[in-house]
Amino acid sequence: MREVFLDYASTSPVDPDVQKAIMQSFTLYIGNPSSIHHYGRASREAVEANRDFVAQLLGSKHDEIVFTAGGTEANNLTIKGTAYMHKDKRKTKGPHIITSVIEHPAVLEPCRSLEDDGYKVAYLPVDKYGLIDLDTLEHTITKDTFLISIMTANNEIGTVEPIQEIGKIAHDHNILFHTDAVQGVGKLPIDVKKQHIDLLSLSAHKFYGPKGVGALYVRNGVQLQPLMHGGGHEKGLRSSTLNVPGIVGLGKAAELAAKRMPTDPERIQANRDHLIQRVLTIEESRLNGHPTKRLCNNAHFRFTGIEGESLLLGLDDKGIAASTGSACSSQKLQASHVLLAIGLTPVEAHGSLRFSLGRTTTRDDIDYVADELPGIVNRLRQMSPMWNR
């Protein structure tokens, strides 16, 4: 049976060149990068060379990159690490974070845990496309706001937020600006200086690197408290022996992403648009998210009268991998908080499906999916009590 992977927003396969670099690292870099003998120095050099590739992709300085175990850790380090700098003010002032209702749980959950500890958090609403409103953002700022954290692009519906404008507002008010760019890196051009970004989270496995490694860009001068205490690695921000093979993989993925930025997104978007055009010919189907301000690889639909989960299984029978909501929350069977936030009913939210394309997706793959999908939708509708035509 033909196999088509259209779930790149959940994770991406490791690029063959990345895989090669990782495999070589196991024999080339056996030393601990903190050791001063030549084995250690070789590992340290590899770590620093790959830190450079990540820095170049973001337009940051070399020493502004802190390696982490992924996007979740980078988000937690930002949110809790900046909040703990304001710990003493909790009783008198209520230090304040602004974020949005459609953030990934890796931002929402640390924020909620801080609320339990006496911090204040404002969750900005979004419009029907998933965009935050800049006036609302500006009016939500208080004299105690120390952090604005808004995602670069949403992991479910792919909506791209006006990051540069948000960063400008944050800096006009002397507030730190963090963006969870886990979905944006490798697909959107990023320039942390130009976009007024102080902290940025990324994760290797979303752009053809290995799982379990990521980074946090921390602008020089930004003060953070570490979450892990130990040997003081990564300028004291993230103790633990560095994950050399993971960092080599992340660096290689970043290097390739930078090289492919001029061509990949455009080609992927053309395939994505072809998919959208074909899928929307199905009766009672709609596109979720913004028509143009969306990630090049994201196509998110809803279909009246059927459950996304059943659709997912029907597609899986045909060798096609897609997703309902984010992979992390798809176990929960709750309506997606993102889809509810853009105004869908729980029933509409449950009838939604995300296709996310990648570097190796072909036009043939898309045509195969678009040929199979109408039959699956019709079959499910015939069995559905919610479909009474």
Ligand X SMILES: Cc1ncc(COP(=O)(O)O)c(C=O)c1O
Shortest spacing between CB 156 and ligand X, in angstroms:
9
If the CB atoms of residues 103 and 372 are measured against ligand X, the closer one turns out to be 103
User: Judged by CB under 6 A, does residue 183 bind ligand X?
Assistant: yes
Give 226-259 as a DSSP string. Answer: -SS-SS-TGGGTS-S---HHHHHHHHHHHHHHHH
Per CB under 6 A, the list member of 44, 104, 252, 290 interacting with ligand X is 104
If the CB atoms of residues 253 and 376 are measured against ligand X, the closer one turns out to be 253
Q: How many other C-beta atoms lie within 10 A of the C-beta of residue 194?
A: 11
Residue 151 CA: distances (Å) to CA of 16, 336, 346: 29, 17, 23
Shortest spacing between CB 79 and ligand X, in angstroms:
12
Structure token pair of residue 373: 């999908």
Distance CA 131, CA 154 (A): 10
How many secondary structure helices (H) and strands (E) does the chain include? 12, 12
Which residues in 124-163 contact ligand X (CB under 6 A)? 151, 155
Catalytic residue of the set 30, 36, 328, 386: 328
If the CB atoms of residues 31 and 214 are measured against ligand X, the closer one turns out to be 214
* Part of the chain binding ligand X (CB under 6 A), chosen from 67-75, 162-170, 286-294, 363-371: 67-75
User: Which of 52, 65, 49 has its CA nearest to residue 218?
Assistant: 65
Catalytic residue flag (residue 328): yes
C-alpha torsion 268→208→326→167, nearest 10 = -80
- Beta pairing partners, 188: 185
Q: How many other C-beta atoms lie within 10 A of the C-beta of residue 383?
A: 10
* Part of the chain binding ligand X (CB under 6 A), chosen from 44-52, 114-122, 175-183, 313-321: 175-183
User: Judged by CB under 6 A, does residue 51 bind ligand X?
Assistant: no
User: Judged by CB under 6 A, does residue 332 bind ligand X?
Assistant: no
Shortest spacing between CB 112 and ligand X, in angstroms:
15
* Part of the chain binding ligand X (CB under 6 A), chosen from 66-74, 94-102, 315-323, 377-385: 66-74
* Part of the chain binding ligand X (CB under 6 A), chosen from 116-124, 166-174, 180-188, 239-247: 180-188
Q: Would you call 103 exposed, middle or buried from its count of C-beta atoms within 10 A (0-12, 13-18, 19+)?
A: buried
Chain contacts with ligand X (rule: CB under 6 A): 70-72, 104, 106, 151, 155, 180, 182-183, 203, 214, 326, 328
Q: Which residues are catalytic?
A: 328
